[in-house]
Structure 1
Amino acid sequence: MGNPKAFLTIGRKEAGYRPLHDRIYDYAEVEQTLNIEDRRLQASRCMDCGVPFCHWACPLGNRQGEWQDLAWRGRWEEAYRSLAETDDFPEFTGRVCPALCEKSCVLKLHDAPVTIRENEVSIVERAFAEGYVTARPPRRRTGKRVAVVGSGPSGLACANRLNRRGHRVTVFEKNEFIGGLLRLGIPDFKLGKKIIDRRLKLLAEEGIEFKPSVCVGKDFKTKELLEKFDAVCVTIGAGVPRDLPVEGRDLKGVYFALELLQQQNRVNAGAQIPQNERISAQGKRVLVIGGGDTGSDCVGTSIRQGAVGVTQIEIMPKPPVGSNPDTPWPMYPQVLKTSSSHEEGCERRWNLATNRFIGKDGVLIGVETERVEWEKDDAGKMTLKHTGETEVIEADIVLLAMGFVHPELDGLVGDLGVGLDARKNIAVDDANRTTVGKVFAAGDASMGASLVVRAIASGRRAAENIDRFLKGQ
């Protein structure tokens, strides 16, 4: 596991971001890379710790110590093979995962964890560059057919694993592009879409059939779906965003975050959007409501569109800086996160609730907010207290980035007749089975909105269970 003493002599070195004055004028990936020698030295910092908490924290069970040792020794192809055994798409997770593994690294106790995520993406990019990653179609086919509905990370992972087991897999996607939120929800400056295209080309060469612009339940009837396929896996994500039903919600200028992000990704792909439908922050004051990753993506996109000012507000308190005693190591730390987008120019504020949207002639001009306080009761539960102290924030555009609540409940889900749980997600058992015979579900559609890495893990698990079902086990 790396050089046992390297962590004592070699400091943590991150690749960092492209210069701010350069990156805010384009949508190219903001993250830079280290040279190979520096990357090997960073991999060597992975020490032979007694309990590999990085492995424990990773939803995929990646064997970080193993492939970092191989990278340090310059055995890049073996490092990639080890990584690919547990992670179907390390080029995705290496870019957009919040690195649960790093937060659990033993060296995190000294605030200098191994650069696991950067090392991961370096291994897979070297593998592509040197030709280690090639199409490997299955040698035999089972004669079984599986439909995967939804082409996000869980759907692609499920399709990949089932295809490798010899089943014929067809992936249906309602949008014009394959990739789900990887394609349309994550900005290009975090995940370049050529990275997705490169992987999809391999999957197609291995025998997976992709059908974009096909809405199952509408363009392709569910009855026909159940008749033609031996199993179905629903991986449609948690597509319903959390709304803010306050006064003025219908004003022009108030949008869901994904309305902006999806449109900009389509524009970057060459789509022509009618001017009257275009959401643009150029020359406007932008208010982002919601302090998570989606809100951060809205900040970076608004800045690139030419906003004159961006403010991001959050109803929760400002997280601690550096460490949080409520989430000690090796737990994922609930601390203040500053993204590349925040560094590009954004005012961030906490403890603000939204009372109403203010408009003039049907157009947004401002938002009335109220300062709130949070108190813990005897059971440790946080309770909200309104102070009555209000403030109007001037804004021309508001972007609601408050998360997602559940999958679309009409259309496909309704036609299939699958049951829902208390949160209105698709109800599944421990084997990913729904209440309908050969219909399975995975990813955010079944577990609620989560991380890309957890969606991939869920898709892999669903594939294993579907494979057992098709074999009569």
Structure 2
Amino acid sequence: MGKSTGFMEYDRIPARVRDPKKRTRDWNEYSLPLPEKDLTIQAARCMDCGVPFCSVGMEIKNGVSGCPLNNLIPEWNDAVYRGEWEEALQLLLKTNNFPEFTGRVCPAPCEGACTVAISEPAVGIKSIEKEIIDYGFRSGLIKPEPPLKRTGKRIAIIGSGPAGLACADQLNKAGHYVTVFEKSDRIGGLLMYGIPTMKLEKESVTRRVNLMAAEGVEFVTGVNAGVDIKMADLKQDFDAIVLATGASKARDVNIEGRDATGIHFAVPYLTQSIKDNLENEGKQTLSAKGKKVVIIGGGDTGADCVATALRQGASSIHQFGHRGKLPELRTNQNPWPEYPHIFQMDYAHVEAEAVLGADPREYLISTVAFEKDQDGRLTGLHTIQVDHDIENHKYTEIPGTERFFEADMVLIAAGFAGATDDIFTNFNVAKTNRHTIDAAKGFYRTNEEAVFACGDARYGQSLVVTAIAEGREAAREVDFYLMDETFLP
């Protein structure tokens, strides 16, 4: 695929981004398109490697390796190299309903499994994917394609995140009548209100939702299915129900002083900022302006909080992580084609370093108490350093390493503990010991007849690309359940 010797002749061309200082003055996407000549060079680096691990989505040591969607990466790389962009678009859309999302927010496990990455920097797969789909929209090649005939079957999708939307898209293509219920005021789930605008501008989400509506998918907002519409009524009106409600049960930090004013969960904080940008002319109602901010949690959501607080004008930012700093290169315990667990500067950390002068991350640190004044307002955090026993998953406090951080805003981004409790009571579905909906992968059926589950609600907190894959696979099982056969991929 591509040019047979391209991986030896050309270096990887990094994705283009806006200047980190300048981009923190607005809420626009930080990424920029690569010129076509650079994309051609990137595509030329794709090897004729025999077994394209980039396309083989699998789990190794509980981590994703390769693309969970089994994207036809070598094939569309070859098409881009030959200048056949329409062909590349057709190949991309065979496996991915929403490349405009994954091309922007996916951490690219495909690149970690790229064969070139055994000894050299991987092919810039994510950059190519993004430009293929953007070309499709820009050229007018992406148009509504409603199904030619309808089956008469009706399906309710509960939740409009990437899993719910992918499931809805596939079932609509199969000719079923699909209604997506969303309890929020806008469709998109975490695509709309979880991922900041500088990573994914909301026009991209609205554009896709409008396209699906033109193809016949019905969207209903402001309805908490299971509460506003009871499960019995849904079962009466629909032939099947798919729960794609996400894993939004936030993991709390239950320590002394937790009730102090100024402590917030990360996702509501990010949601409010996005809402303000959409509705309030950008005026931030829950703002970090002039504040000393500490973010508890070293993951992507924590990084998004860093970027948001920077744009709001925080005076200082620290991001606490329980784990140690990752190595610069793969270790023997993290061989190819596993996802590379190596040190990286996320977009938010680059911005913080540019604006505030330092990477905001603190490693192997645990918060032991919050400090508050006589009025109950947060004034800081007491912390201690920890040792991490990776093999036994244990953390041990190190005496004498206690510190105090001044803070008047804390954002808790410590991950999620599964689906919210109401999902299990309202829909009478069984749960796993991980507090997710009990529905076996490959079947996606719950203990309730005609009720299916997919995405983070079933799988647990994961990637957008994994959620899309789950939605597609669940749609296939629903189609088979309703029709006794399926032609969905």
TM-score, normalization by structure 2: 0.93
Q: Which of 81, 87, 101 matches 1:92? A: 101
CA distance in 2, matches of 1:390, 1:299: 24
Q: Percent identity?
A: 43
* 1:23 counterpart = 2:5: no
Contact 1:324–1:333 (8 Å) recurs in 2: no
- Residue 413 (structure 1) shift: 3.0
Q: Which of 309, 313, 320 matches 2:316? A: 309
* 1:190 counterpart = 2:199: yes
- Residue 383 (structure 1) shift: 2.3
* 1:418 counterpart = 2:429: yes
CA distance in 2, matches of 1:255, 1:322: 35
Query: Equivalences for 1:349-364 in 2 at 5 Å?
Result: 349-360=362-373, 361-364=375-378
- Residue 274 (structure 1) shift: 10
CA distance in 2, matches of 1:385, 1:403: 21
Q: What per-residue deviation string (whole Å, max 9, x for no partner) do you get for residues 243-300 of structure 1? A: 000011111111111121000010111148999xx32100011101111100100000
The secondary structure found in structure 2 opposite 1:25 is coil
Matched letter for residue 457 of structure 1: A
Matched letter for residue 369 of structure 1: T
Contact 2:454–2:470 (8 Å) recurs in 1: yes
* 1:265 counterpart = 2:274: yes
Contact 1:55–1:62 (8 Å) recurs in 2: yes
Matched letter for residue 365 of structure 2: L
Query: Equivalences for 1:168-317 in 2 at 5 Å?
Result: 168-271=177-280, 278-317=285-324
1:330 is aligned to 337
CA distance in 2, matches of 1:426, 1:258: 21
- Residue 104 (structure 1) shift: 0.8
Count of aligned residue pairs for this structure pair: 467
CA distance in 1, matches of 2:230, 2:281: 30
Q: Which of 474, 477, 481 matches 1:465? A: 477
Contact 2:186–2:192 (8 Å) recurs in 1: yes
- Residue 324 (structure 1) shift: 2.6
Matched letter for residue 364 of structure 1: L
CA distance in 2, matches of 1:217, 1:101: 37
The secondary structure found in structure 2 opposite 1:255 is strand
- Residue 45 (structure 1) shift: 1.1
Matched letter for residue 384 of structure 2: E
Q: What per-residue deviation string (whole Å, max 9, x for no partner) do you get for residues 97-122 of structure 1? A: 10000011111123311000000000
TM-score, normalization by structure 1: 0.96
The secondary structure found in structure 2 opposite 1:143 is coil
Matched letter for residue 354 of structure 1: T
CA distance in 1, matches of 2:22, 2:35: 21
Matched letter for residue 413 of structure 1: F
CA distance in 2, matches of 1:8, 1:472: 50
Q: What per-residue deviation string (whole Å, max 9, x for no partner) do you get for residues 350-369 of structure 1? A: 01111011001210010000
CA distance in 1, matches of 2:312, 2:76: 40
The secondary structure found in structure 2 opposite 1:3 is coil
Matched letter for residue 369 of structure 2: R
* 1:405 counterpart = 2:414: no
* 1:11 counterpart = 2:6: no
CA distance in 2, matches of 1:126, 1:256: 37
CA distance in 2, matches of 1:176, 1:383: 41
* 1:348 counterpart = 2:361: yes
Q: What per-residue deviation string (whole Å, max 9, x for no partner) do you get for residues 315-353 of structure 1? A: 111111222322111100112221111011242110111
Q: What per-residue deviation string (whole Å, max 9, x for no partner) do you get for residues 380-432 of structure 1? A: 3232111122111111111111111111112x431221111111111013410
1:453 is aligned to 465
CA distance in 2, matches of 1:282, 1:83: 42
CA distance in 2, matches of 1:374, 1:137: 53
Q: What per-residue deviation string (whole Å, max 9, x for no partner) do you get for residues 86-142 of structure 1? A: 001001000011000001111112331100000000000011111111111000100
The secondary structure found in structure 1 opposite 2:421 is coil
Contact 1:97–1:451 (8 Å) recurs in 2: yes
Contact 2:227–2:426 (8 Å) recurs in 1: no
* 1:82 counterpart = 2:91: yes
CA distance in 2, matches of 1:150, 1:41: 40
CA distance in 1, matches of 2:270, 2:213: 27
Unmatched 5+ residue regions in structure 2?
Answer: 57-65, 353-358
